[in-house]
Amino acid sequence: MMTARRKGLMKLALSTGLLFGLFLVLDMREVGRHLSQLDPRWALPAVAALVLQIALLAWRWRFTALRLGMRMSYRHALREYYLGVFLNQLLPGGILGDVSRAWRHARLTSLTRTAVHAVVLERVVVQFLMVGIALASLTAIPALRPAMQIYWVWAAVAVVIVALAAAVLRALLPVIRSAVAGFGNDALRAYLPAPVLLVQLLTAILATAANLAAYAATARALGVDIPLGTLLPLIAPILLVMMLPISIAGWGVREGAAALLWTAAGLAVAQGVAVAVAFGLLFMVAALPGAFGLVGGRETETWPERGQGRNSRSNSTSSPSEN
């Protein structure tokens, strides 16, 4: 069985190998020339958009946790979310920060399953939204349109196979059936009724828009003056690949995806790779406040027990502005 350390080393090797491969293939002096042209007038708005995204996602996490009957102040949510983002920049996989966030919250509440569900349910809408935008973006790139038509067929087949496999496992294994039922109940509380679903969707859209805007601003900071209609379809697929838990903070896979997409769009590959590198660096800058979460003290609050949070509906569904 593969250990966590071995998985981490494999992801580090993937990031390093992809970056080294690009270094061999591309003219790195050209990439460096683009990076040296970084304009602070666009770089600062890019960092601001990433900070706004983190603030919105922290608010979504708190809102979701409140819906599940778990008390959480926004100050606590923002600090923990920042810490999670910071850890995702340092640790292999890009999800260990989210795991840490769920674990640290579970320690305070003693509600492990609910704490995990709150993190998953907060992230899943944003992830699905990014997948949808990325797939739509790929169909907007003329060179990739024929391949995407075939991809949609295989994607539909894969969804059917996964759904059937999940149904069979749920029917055969009581443990999985119980886990799915518990997650489904929490999902209903987190997303319904309709006004709650609207809040979840709007905040997910705003956070995703902030991420896309940050990448576009990074491109402008490097002097990329291609029309937005050409630039925007290239961004979401790169951000989606960056989210995959297969590398160190997206390094390597992000730059590789940028190289492929810039090539497909008939643009200068070195320019696309430079934008990807600059975005990674600006993201690290935006995540730096999370380092204070490593040295800050634990927040002391009175956390409700499971029965209290779920039996008192008014408490669990109170306004997210409550501190």
| Element containing residue 28 per DSSP (H, E) | helix 28-36
Helical axes 253-264 vs 228-243, angle rounded to 10°: 150
Q: Which candidate, 15, 23, 25, 60, places its Cα nearest to that of 205? A: 60
In whole angstroms, give the CA distance from residue 303 to residue 173: 33
Give the model's pLDDT for residue 162: 75
Q: How much is the pTM?
A: 0.86
Domain extents for the chain?
Answer: 28-293
pLDDT, tens digit (0-9, with 9 covering 90-100), for 29-82: 999 999 999 999 999 999 999 999 999 999 999 999 999 999 899 999 999 999
3-class SS of residue 92: strand
Looking at residue 140, the DSSP 8-state letter turns out to be T
- CB within 8 Å of 53: residues ≥ 6 apart: 207, 210, 211, 214
- Contact present, 53 and 214 (Cβ < 8 Å): yes
Give me 275's structure tokens: 């934008």
pLDDT in tens, the chain (323 residues): 567 778 788 888 989 999 999 989 999 999 999 999 999 999 999 999 999 999 999 999 999 999 999 989 999 999 999 999 999 998 877 788 999 999 988 888 888 999 999 999 999 999 999 999 998 898 888 887 776 666 667 667 777 887 787 777 767 777 778 888 899 999 999 999 999 999 999 999 999 999 999 999 999 999 999 999 999 999 999 999 999 888 999 999 999 999 999 999 999 999 999 999 999 999 999 999 999 877 765 554 544 444 444 433 434 444 444 43
Beta bridge partners of 248: 92
In whole angstroms, give the CA distance from residue 199 to residue 194: 9
